[in-house]
Amino acid sequence: MEFKHISVLLSEVVEGLNLSKEKTIVDATLGGGGHSLKVAQVIDGGTLICIDKDTTAIEHSKIKLSEELEKFYNENNDFKIPKVIFAHNDFVNISRVLDENGINKVDGILADLGVSSYQIDNSERGFSYMNDAELDMRMNKSQKLTAEHVVNLYKPDKLMQIIRDFGEERYSRRITEAIVNARPIKTTLELSEIIKKAVPGNYYKTGGHPAKRTFQAIRIEVNNELGILEKFVVDSVDRLNKNGRVAIITFHSLEDRIIKQTFKQLEKSCICPPKTPICICAHKPSLRIITKKPIEPSEEEIKNNPRSASAKLRIAEKV
């Protein structure tokens, strides 16, 4: 299957990172390489570090960036092709990746927290409730935890909490009961049909496909997508040069809330307890929030790429 992915908020990310020549930039979630390619074309002579835990994404983007940058070079004689480093790793390990490559500080970091179109559309990966496949949903195929384990072996209370909190699913109890009663469940379509039968018949009118939120919740659990976000933000800001920027795209309200709250915490000039009469902490803020409200896709972008509809971009700058 061909690796296809439409990068979300592409021009907004590049503009928000305040890029220029010879900068060192990290794309912490390489995916289809769209953001990386655009960044590389702006930082000519600089360094680009591309991180992804999906080996397929890395293999595809190595070829894409090599071909496209060579083409860009031939069309722009004064352009210097930047050094590009690829790392098969999780974005939460950004500090480890930089250390392994002898890089101390960088000028910009971007992360797109969405699942790539390739992963969704590739039925073998088990992300889609529309195609039949094994219950997998691992972004990193080398990890042990799979969707099949979550669906079949998690205790009912824990499974319901995941569906309720990560999926924001109002029928989490009914869905959990249906799943538990149908165990063992082996495939994505089998799970999808069980969920469809568990919810009211008018669900389509109010919540889209009945399995969408539950599949999202299981995917988040399998890949620990929320548990690592705060650490990623803190570590990223620590590795930025002064005036360097971090830009993060989220697709889920819980993700966006974590990014928003972590940015606010790092922007505070005082972290004393609320009832302390005067500041005694001597704390200094580590960043300045650039986007007081998140940047969202235009109507035109949503029309061209419906999967971008829930995207939110937040940007902050190291002080």
- Give the per-residue pLDDT at 191: 95
Q: Residue 5: inside a domain, yes or no?
A: no
What is the spatial distance between Cα 134 and Cα 187, in angstroms, rounded to a whole number?
5
| In a shared domain, residues 29 and 104 | yes
Which CATH number do you get for residue 312?
3.40.50.150
- Give the per-residue pLDDT at 270: 74
- Give the per-residue pLDDT at 142: 83
* Residue owning tokens 């919740």: 217
The domain of 134 spans 123-223
What lies within 8 Å, CB to CB, of 92 at 6+ separation is 228, 231, 232, 235
Which CATH number do you get for residue 148?
1.10.150.170
- Give the per-residue pLDDT at 249: 97
Closest by CA position to 178, among listed 194, 189, 166: 194
- Give the per-residue pLDDT at 118: 53
What lies within 8 Å, CB to CB, of 125 at 6+ separation is 119, 133, 136, 137, 138
- Give the per-residue pLDDT at 117: 53
Asked if 260 and 314 count as a contact pair (C-beta separation under 8 A), the reply is yes
Q: Which of 223, 244, 263 is the last residue of a domain?
A: 223
Asked if 267 and 316 count as a contact pair (C-beta separation under 8 A), the reply is yes
| In a shared domain, residues 64 and 127 | no
| In a shared domain, residues 237 and 307 | yes
Q: In tens digits, what is the pLDDT along the chain, a chain of 319 residues?
A: 455 668 999 999 999 999 999 999 999 999 999 999 999 999 999 999 999 998 988 999 999 999 999 999 999 989 999 999 999 999 999 999 999 999 999 999 999 998 755 555 555 666 777 788 899 999 888 889 999 999 999 999 999 999 999 999 999 999 999 999 999 999 999 999 999 999 998 887 766 789 989 999 999 999 888 888 999 999 999 999 999 999 999 998 999 999 999 999 999 877 777 777 777 777 688 999 999 999 999 999 999 998 899 999 999 999 9
Asked if 187 and 130 count as a contact pair (C-beta separation under 8 A), the reply is no
| In a shared domain, residues 105 and 230 | yes
- Give the per-residue pLDDT at 284: 82
| In a shared domain, residues 193 and 144 | yes
| In a shared domain, residues 156 and 200 | yes
- Give the per-residue pLDDT at 124: 60
Number of structural domains in the chain: 2
Global model pTM greater than 0.85: no
Q: Which of 189, 223, 257 is the last residue of a domain?
A: 223
* Residue owning tokens 């005067």: 278
**Which residues are bridge partners to 83 per DSSP?**
47
What is the spatial distance between Cα 96 and Cα 232, in angstroms, rounded to a whole number?
12
Amino acid code (one letter) for 204: Y
- Give the per-residue pLDDT at 121: 54
